[in-house]
Structure 1
């Protein structure tokens, strides 16, 4: 499944468990989704598989071209028809990618639209790829996502508290030496 939106910095393929199986973060956010798709290795691989008789496909939104290996919703399907029913199921199934992107951006706030990665493009792409890898690690490890803008105070363990007190004493000693 592929995301949509001019703000998308990359193209992601994910499964229904919200695991990202492919990421393409080569193009700037203003690049149209269909351009990214046409230039992706996933499309090339699916075309090759299709040519060899292997049948599989991805679900994309209406920003992508309808191809044998990439299905898009049927726009303006007449209500009550099989086409409209197919489109409802398509949209429901494809919602996984929207949830995946929301979860990814929620965990890694640097990927939000209002934020900018203030690095040269090649390095920014590495950040995006790293966020996707960490996202998959969180999903596979069952790390819960808590949607909260506040900060959670985690009590320090006893050993950490004593080390913190020792560190403060060392710093105070350094500061006292500066007075001499």
Structure 2
């Protein structure tokens, strides 16, 4: 399942999904085209963050890890917490793919992208219904997780606009300082 961009909450509920892109499309490109990005960028005086891996460009509302952070430094502690929270999305993907095994990369959906997107969206809706009903879902085995990771498409982030990157750094530094104060 390489054609999905999703946002989830801490209960593994999928709160936003976009399955309208082709299989070779990277998350960072989808994020640049995503309506929720535009919504977040339009927020004034609100502290709202999404957490992304290093494949995303750091932005005011998209928090990414700090490169080369020293362990036990404020940046290292931020990276630890950021990764720990971000694991929720990986777990959500694991439960979703475990429950709807047609979404595993090894079981490609042999449909046009539009139909495959509708199937993925239906699986996400059913996943949320199962979560709300308290129906446990099977998670992927470690072997399946590894297989899914190796099939991810590498991506080089495009050159970021200096102004947006600086705003992202200021927001991330403020978040790091707030985390340090509340330790």
TM-score normalized by structure 1?
0.75
CA distance in structure 2 between the aligned counterparts of 1:115 and 1:142, rounded to whole angstroms: 27
Q: Partner of 1:16 in structure 2?
A: 10
Structure number with bigger Rg: 1
Which of these residues, 70, 75, 95, is aligned with residue 83 of structure 1? 75
Alignment of 1:50-65 (within 5 A): 52-65=44-57
Q: Partner of 1:125 in structure 2?
A: 117
Q: Where has structure 1 moved over 4 Å in runs of 4 or more?
A: none
Shift of 1:8: 2.3
Which of these residues, 24, 42, 47, is aligned with residue 48 of structure 1? 42
CA distance in structure 2 between the aligned counterparts of 1:72 and 1:83, rounded to whole angstroms: 11
Q: Partner of 1:33 in structure 2?
A: 27
Shift of 1:41: 0.9
**In the comparison of the two structures, how many residue pairs are matched?**
141
Shift of 1:79: 1.7
RMSD, aligned α-carbons: 1.6
Alignment of 1:83-122 (within 5 A): 83-122=75-114
CA distance in structure 1 between the aligned counterparts of 2:139 and 2:31, rounded to whole angstroms: 31
Equivalent position SS for 1:55: coil
Contact 2:66 2:75 in 1 (8 A): yes
Which of these residues, 144, 166, 180, is aligned with residue 136 of structure 2? 144
